[in-house]
Chains A and B, each alone.
Chain A
Amino acid sequence: MTAAPEAPPSLVRDRKLPPVAEVAIVSICMMLIGGVYLAAQLPGRPSLVLPVVLVAVGGALTAGDMVVLSRIRPFAWPTFFLVLKWALLAYLVIAGMLEYVFVRDNTPGPAMAVLTATLVVFALDVPTILAFTVARFADPGPHGSR
């Protein structure tokens, strides 16, 4: 990873941005509640209603978050994508490892599908928070309004 571009002090520091990180944290909370609910009842066959609702709402929040994020102008997009790609790689490895454990344990199909969706949303939320938190303090620069 290389350095972020220069940031002009107070303009970057004090500007108001949409609550992208906060929304992603709410989504992560939903994934964790659903994940713990399912994991606490495995290897049985728990009701999937609550986890499905949580992953659907959390997924919708994440999708909405991406839309809101994409409309921020100006924004340090090069910095955002620099962090995003590495964080995404790291969290795909982590999510993949957890997925592997569930597959290896012959987790029942429907529960497996919900857990997979949960891990996908989780693996998108965390890199988004990391990349947004770094990029919000970086100089938008000449490519910031693309």
Chain B
Amino acid sequence: MAQDVAAVASGVAATSGERPAAAEFEIIPLRGLPVVGVVLVGLVVVIATDARWGVDFFHVVGGGFWTALDLFLGFVLGPILGRLSIPARVELTTRLMPKMLLIMPTVVVCTLAAGWQLARQTGDILSTYPHHSWVVASMCVVAVMAVVALGLLEPANLAVLFELKKSQPDGEIIGRLMKRFIYSAGITGAMQVATLIIMTRMATA
């Protein structure tokens, strides 16, 4: 991973003087908003009705998506992205990142809200629960991921998209932001490994 990041960083530095062409795309894919709305309404309904299967579904599906996407972006797509040519990187970024702006917050809120409700129903949230320390550990991991994702990754993602919207995007700004994006995606990927360990420990405890 460290070698991948180093290669990406050097690739970005080498290409930062190039000017990628402006791209036509939507920063927020408006067609996806109704889907997000339906998912969030579904989440509210299962929480309001205390539907055990429903909250379990939202937590497992949301968590599965969240973990898989973070691992895939952090360890597979991120390093590949850094090695692509500038036009290919622009093409991939402008197609993938707008969707991620809708998908990630949605799966995160589904996982957390449903997970809290599930833990309340099962009693895992109680400090008397024998493996409560694992629950607290998972909260700490989520907190670290939140700081990295909200403070570094998502802002870099959005700023790259805005830069690419300009008629003359600045390659150096994009390179700098992409480096930040790739590093922080790697960190969240590593945190997701910790989440997998914690969740499997709790499931088999």
**A interface residues, Cβ below 8 angstroms from B:** 1, 3-4, 6-7, 9, 12-13, 21, 24-25, 28-29, 32-33, 35-36, 39-44, 79, 83, 86, 90, 93-94, 97-98, 100-101, 104-105, 126, 129-130, 132-134, 137-138
Contact = CB atoms under 8 A, between A and B. Distances in A.
Interface of B is mostly: helix
Contacts of B113: 97-98, 100-101
B158 to A, nearest CB: 6
Interface residues of B, number: 43
A7 B112 CA distance: 38
Interface string B113-153: 10011001000011100001001100110010011001100
B127 to A, nearest CB: 6
Given A28-B150, A97-B43, 12 more contacts: A6-B166, A9-B170, A25-B151, A28-B151, A36-B136, A100-B47, A104-B47, A104-B117, A133-B156, A134-B155, A134-B162, A137-B170
Interface in B11-55: 26-28, 40, 43-44, 47-48
A79 B27 CA distance: 13
B165 interface: yes
A40 B155 contact: no
B64 interface: no
Contacts of B163: 4, 7, 137
Contact of A129 (B116, B126, B150): B150
B85 interface: no
12 contacts: A21-B155, A24-B151, A32-B146, A35-B143, A39-B125, A40-B132, A40-B136, A94-B108, A97-B109, A101-B116, A126-B150, A129-B151
A130 B125 contact: no
B147 A32 contact: yes
B172 interface: yes
A36 B143 contact: yes
Contacts of B108: 94
B31 to A, nearest CB: 14
Interface string B155-182: 1101100110111101011000000000
A21 to B, nearest CB: 7
Nearest to B148: A25
Nearest to A104: B47
B167 A93 contact: no
B40 A97 contact: yes
B147 A28 contact: yes
Contacts of A126: 150
A28 B162 contact: no
B143 A32 contact: yes
B154 interface: yes
B18 to A, nearest CB: 12
A39 B117 CA distance: 12
